[in-house]
Structures are given as structure tokens and as C-alpha cells.
Amino acid sequence: MPLKLNSSDNNFDQNFTNFLNIKRDEEKNVDDEVREIIRQVRDKGDEALKDYTKKFDNWNAESLKVAPEKLQQSYETCNRHYVQAMQMAVQRVTDFHQKTYPEGFAYQDEEGLRLGMRYTPIERVGVYIPGGKAAYLSSAYMSIVPAKVAGVNHITAVVPHMNGECNAMLLATLHHLGVTDVWAIGGAQAIAALAYGTESITAVDMIAGPGNIYVATAKKQLYGKVGIDMIAGPSEILVLSDSTTNPKWTALDLLAQAEHDPMAQSVLISTEQDHIDAVLAEMAQMLPTLSRRDIIEKSWKNYGAVIKVKDWDEAIIYVNKIAPEHLQISLKEAYDFAHHVKHAGAIFIGKNSCGAMSDYSAGPSHVLPTNHSARFASVLSTQNFLKRTSILECSEEALIHLSENTATLAEIENLDAHKKSMEIRLESLGS
């Protein structure tokens, strides 16, 4: 059974704190193992990649490059119904991200100092596409489309091939996205190859895309050598629901999140015990009919939670403390409630809005901050793939206006060269 909390209980605060501190990453510490994998790939390049592919993915690779012809063939032979659904999703995601591209600015103050900000795309981006428990073709376009819209010149995709095989629809998606630099590698070794490059793979400037604990640890260790989008952990949803929503709908929203991964987390908050009981009953009835019930059972039993609150004003406090990856607001006054939410990766407003729509075809990326990191992190967008550069152009009038103040501050910090760099310019004005 999931964890059950009631805000009216005397020990609620401590129990809620314990809930927030639940560790959902895999228990084993992989730091040393990942560090060694990175070292081997850095030092031995393609040889290390082939060794790890044999060890972890169970196949001997003559070449790790996925031929563009194979991508095209996968696209041409795929079920057209699937292809059309993917194309529609890609177009919607593209349309959304075209609206997220930030505009630079420039202005001139009264003293003639011109200031501004401009955005330029990162040159080379590597995208990790998971290939473990399911075919994550949606992760391909959710990560790649924002990069393409941002204007990234070169995208390298890495996709694990278990036993040398990969989902054909995923390869078809890469073809549709115009990505031709695709490699059949996964795990920490793929992240290392993207960061350092090998004889065959050109190093990138940034790595994006979700993955398992080995991938996340490698991204963390290599941050600084390359940029990263975020450290994404197991997925999660927080559903706010009351009797205005069909309990079957709420039950399926919770089950849908739990089927992602045994470490996924589904949380229900409600003011009504009768509604909570109805949702739990629906979940119990529907669970045996689902193909991934074993995964759902582990997720729901180990990490699921039900929280009964006195009222929705109180619920807002706990929502912002949880800072969920996905927040589903299935309430009559859902829009008003959403205005009070400070911390959430994605918000689904109203009972007709659900996580499945966000995962596949609504428009925003489904690559989101997890594990309470929505307190400081954001959904993946074009801005992750853009660099901000400040611009400064100083006229003689501005130099005169700012020089004394600047020289004073430099003197306080005992930085003589800074001070003199201003003074010499002033002297030249008088000559």
C-alpha cells in the first residue's frame, strides 16, 4: 500500500518531511564505476566503447555508427499510422518551441553607454535517448526539437542497442528530425564519448536527454567539461483531485505515471476521504488489467502517497514544498489554484488535461526537473541550447561619466591595473 498521510494528525509534519526525503534513486553508489568508465573511454576511445557495448548491451559491434540508410529504411517501412502520429507530435512541439525563442535587446543610456544582450546557439549538442524498459521515441523529439529550433548546427544522438537491436520507430523518428549522426551506444560510456570524443565520434559542447543512474552520474561528473541540461531522476506526478472529477480519471493519471519505472512516484492530494477511497478502489480494480502491472505495483507500493488535507489553501503549501515534476490540478477551480503554484515543472490545469498528453503531443518538452528541483530548475526549452552574451559599447561621454566611480571601486578592491585602465583612457581624452 502507498504511504497515507493526514494533515490533521499530530505527527504529520515529521511524516511529511520524511516523505520529502525519500530516496528514489537506485541504492548502489555508482560514482567510482562511472569514473572508471569515463577514464577508459577518454583514454581508449572506440576500443573502450566496443568493449562496454559487448559487456553491457550484449553484442559485438563492428561499427557503432547507425548508417543513415538504416534510418531512412526504418522510416520508409514503419507503420504509417505511427509515423503520422509522430509527425503531428513533432510539428506541435516545433510550433510551441518557436514561441520560446528569446529576443535579445539593446539600449543606450543618457551618457551614451550602449548595452545589450544577444543569444547564440550552442554549436554541437549530444542527445541521449534511453533504450531500456520501453521505446522512448518521444524522448528523441522532446530533446532534439528545442535544440533544432534554437539553431544548433550539429546534433549527435546516442541510442543503446540491446543485443544489437533498436526500435525501428525510434530510428524513423531520428530520420524525420534530420539527425544523421547517430551512434549505437548507451550508458555512462556514451556520455563520456560525447564529452571527450573518440576516433569516430566528435566531442560536443552540451549533452541533453534523460537516462538511468549511470547516465545521470556521468553527466554530473562531466559537467564543466561539457554543458548539461539537468540531472533528471525517476519521474513523478502530484494529482490534486476532488469529487468534481471522475475517480477513474484520477486513478488512471496515477497509474500512468507509475508505469514509467519502478522508482516513479504518484501522489494524490485531496480534501475528501470519500473521493480518496473511490480513487484507490478504481486503481485496485484497473491495475490487474494493465500490461506493466508489475512495474506499477512496485512504484505505487514503495513510493506512492496519498495526502488528505483540510482545505485547498493548505494544499498549496504542500504542493510548493513537493515542487513536483508534473502537477495535475483536477479541481473545479483549477485555474485559480494554478496561480498560487510557485514550484512545478509542468502544470496540467483541469480534468481534461493529463500527463499522457504532455508526454507525447501537447507541445512543451516532457524533459522536466524531478526530485523537488523545480524549486530552481525549469522545463527543457530552446533557452537550454542558447548562450547569453552581454554587449557593452562605451562612448567618450560615458567613459567620463563612469570613470571616477569605476576607479574608486577598483581602488577599494586594490586592483591597480583596473584603476589605471580607466585613468589612461581619460588622459587620452585630454591630449
Q: Are 331 and 312 in contact (CB under 8 A)?
A: yes
The three cell numbers of residue 22 are: 525519500
State the cell numbers at 274.
Answer: 470519500
Query: Across the strands, what pairs with 165?
Result: 162
By C-alpha distance, which of 80, 96, 127 is closest to 361? 96
User: Rounded to an integer, what distance in angstroms lies between the CA atom of residue 374 and that of residue 324?
Assistant: 7
Instruction: Measure the CA–CA gap between 418 and 431, rounded to whole angstroms.
Output: 21
Catalytic, out of 326, 343, 366, 372 = 326
Per annotation, catalytic residue among 325, 343, 366, 372:
325
Q: Could you give phi then psi for residue 52, rounded to 5 degrees? A: -70, -35
- CA triple 51-55-60, angle to 5 deg: 60
- Residue 259 has φ and ψ, to the nearest 5°, of -75, -5
Query: How many alpha carbons fall within 13 Å on the CB side of residue 404?
Result: 3
DSSP string, 320-354: HHH--SEEEEESTTHHHHHTT----SEEEESTT--
The whole-angstrom separation of Cα 143 and Cα 29 is 27
325 is catalytic: yes
Cell 589605471 found at: 420
Rounded Cα–Cα distance for residues 301 and 305 (Å): 9
Is 123 noted as a catalytic residue in this protein?
no
Q: Are 413 and 147 a contacting pair, CB within 8 Å?
A: no
Euclidean distance between CA atoms 149 and 99, whole angstroms: 10
- Which residues are catalytically annotated? 325-326
